[in-house]
Amino acid sequence: MSPLEIGIIGMGNVGSGVAKILTNQSEMLERRAGRPIHIRKATVRDLGRDRGVTLPDGVLTVSIDEVVNDPEIALVVQLIGGIELARDIMLRCLKAGKNVVTANKALLCEHSEEIFATAKANNCCVAYEAAVAGGIPIIDVVGESLASNQLLSIEAILNGTSNFILTEMFNRDASYDEILQEAQQLGYAEADPTFDIDGTDAAQKLVLLTQLAWGTTVSLDDFPRQGIDTLELADLKYARELGYKVKLLATSRMVDGQLEMHVQPTLIKADRPLANIDGAFNAVSLLGDAVGRTWYCGPGAGQMPTASAVVSDIIDMALGRTQITFPKLEIWSESGADVVPKNEITSRFYLRFQVEDRPHVFADIADILGQHEISLASIIQHEAPELDATGEGGYPVVPLVVMTHRTQLGKLLAADEALSKLDALREPRVRLLVADQ
């Protein structure tokens, strides 16, 4: 059968990994894809750089146009990051009748409607296994393997950097800043790690999974998002004392026909599988109406895991599987469930207050929470651990940790407003979610 001619746009880390697999495993891939996969062009910024893989003369080019305008290229592997240029290339490829494989979650999160519509109008497909959870084939699982199920919830650890930092903070009794710095030195965190640690990266991936599972097009503004950048070691320890571990959890779940979504540092019971995913791994827990709960775990980033996902997409395109699957995905649904407004999200919550250790403080807090119909499940107050920390009246400032029963986020936010006026409360007031199970 004739080779599948592909163009790779962006021969960075992942692009080089893709080229390595295609080059080193060409025989196996030809067998599995039913035809040779041939890299016709690959764009680079610098022709001279060593990428750990040798491509035939004339393949490397600095010109994106050489890929987009080459009529022989049927499939473009689009691996450049960012939004605007990537969007432009994506749309040009699709309009030129080329299928596209991409790992760009930010682009798809922001412009999926336009991109998918353009693909449809031009009889093309877009595949994006590598955009979510790295080497875990979670797009395949949600879009194909569990198609027999109506999914009921997705709970996932989707940012390896955050999970690495949380794991190390806890295991080594270290502060967020200390571990972040180390992670940057080791290459586990980007020089600018903002989107990893503020929850944006996980939220983008959650948007893609949610769209695939329920056909709902969600924007990042539609649901609350909090990263690990405000977490303190103290909270990881109190959580443990209560029998939980803290993970940056991305959650989408059906509640009465609506979608409850959030990305939040979340307490998970210590014996649950997701609580025990340590280090830079990703993990996804899916609840399906027929299958029940299944879990998927693996490397969420990195050159070869991501390249593995890209090459799987290429094989699916070469075989024509994607061409069958893509038009049947839930992304085309016109009746996706609505997203629950932020204030109506219900959960149990972990609250930590820094309070002056003087009479009636706890009564004041409990009174305000009670007025807002928030009932308390458990409380930790230790003897003053920081003897130097004193409030204005000379009282020591101590942490007070409260676990609530299930309540609405809106009630908690209203209570927080009232609590902020209490003289005896100091910053920060910490609020974390508690997972149901």
The residues that touch a second copy, with contacts defined as CB under 8 A, are 17, 21, 25, 28-29, 31-34, 129, 135-137, 140-141, 144-150, 273, 276, 288-299, 302, 304-305, 307-312, 314-316, 319-321, 324-325, 328, 330, 333
> Could you give the residue numbers annotated as active site?
205
Q: Identify whether the C-beta of residue 305 lies closer than 8 Å to the C-beta of residue 135.
A: yes
Q: At CA 235, angle to CA 366 and CA 433, rounded to 5? A: 65
CA dihedral 254, 306, 193, 171 (to 10 degrees): 80
Tokens of 240: 């443990």
400: tokens are 């007070």
Q: How far is the CB of 279 from a second copy (least distance, A)?
A: 11
The tokens for 435 are 């997972």
* CB nearer to a second copy: pick between 275 and 415: 275
Burial class (CB in 10 A: 0-12, 13-18, 19+), 351: buried
Q: How far is the CB of 71 from a second copy (least distance, A)?
A: 25
Rounded (10°) angle between helices 160-172 and 233-241: 70
Say whether 339 sits in a helix, a strand or coil. strand
Q: DSSP of 203-234, one letter per residue?
A: HHHHHHHHHHHH-----GGGS-B--STT--HH
CB of residue 206 to a second copy, shortest distance in Å: 20
Cβ closer to a second copy: 117 or 324? 324
Q: How far is the CB of 273 from a second copy (least distance, A)?
A: 7
CB within 8 Å of 177: residues ≥ 6 apart: none
**Least distance from a second copy to the Cβ atom of residue 292, Å:** 5
